[in-house]
Amino acid sequence: MRRALITNVTQYAGPGTVPVLLRNGYQVLCHDPSFRARGVRERYAKAHPGVVCLDASDPEEIHAEAGALSGTVDVVISNDVHPISRTAIEDISPDELRATFEAVLVVPFRLAQLFLPEMKERRSGSFVFVTSARPRRPEPGFATPTTIRAGATAFAMALAKETARYGIQVNVVAPNYLYSEMYYPRATYVDDPAGREAIAETVPAGRLGEPEEIGELIEFLASGRSAFTTGQVIDFTGGWS
């Protein structure tokens, strides 16, 4: 049984990825900031039979708890999130820049550092980084996520180059226009006809991506079924670029 760790499971690519992993027979270790509350962890585990919910928050705690609970972690899915808002460059606060940097670049960087030695020793393992397709077409007002997501993607590519000789796969899934309550909430972009029309005019597929659609892509990259596939950035955008 392959063991996969996924971060921020209640947000972004998490809701669609967990059921796909379970359906394909993985043991799934789930991190989420909300799991610090025992009741939240218990409700999530009850709703997703078969998962193991961690109460860890920072990368060091996540690594230690995952190791104590399951031993070998075959796959690390770094599904990193941070709220965004449209802000002109001159109005971006240094504190917000640093907070985004910490959440979507420092955390995945540190997780990779922690899990890498054991993967090298086994000469196997897989990292999937969920970043963003925004850097392909920067949009006014979103300099912070565009810049820092690009950094996370660049880090993943550097990691792929250093680890391929050890049999470790590193790939990136770069979404935009994926349905998620943090970035494209249902009330605005699904339930509201005006929001649906705006998406249809922007995205060639005419709609938001479904959560389990990105889950299927992530599971393939995590599976090891195509071990020669590494160092790739795969857009998940419905044709938008």
Measured distance CA(179)–CA(194) in Å, rounded? 16
- For 158, the enclosing helix (H) or strand (E) is helix 143-163
CATH code given to domain 3-236? 3.40.50.720
pLDDT digit string (tens) for 204-230? 999 999 999 999 999 999 999 999 999
| Burial of residue 98, with CB atoms counted within 10 A of its CB: 0-12 exposed, 13-18 middle, 19 or more buried | exposed
Mean pLDDT of 139-161: 97
Cα→Cα distances 81→120, 129, 131, 141, 152, Å: 27, 11, 9, 18, 12
List of E strands, 176-240: 232-236
Measured distance CA(169)–CA(159) in Å, rounded? 9
- Between helix 14-23 and helix 211-223 the angle, nearest 10°, is 50
Judged against a pLDDT cut of 90, whether residue 70 lies above it is answered with no
pLDDT digit string (tens) for 6-58? 999 999 999 999 999 999 999 999 999 999 999 999 999 999 999 999 999 99
Strands 27-30, 232-236: pairing kind:
unpaired
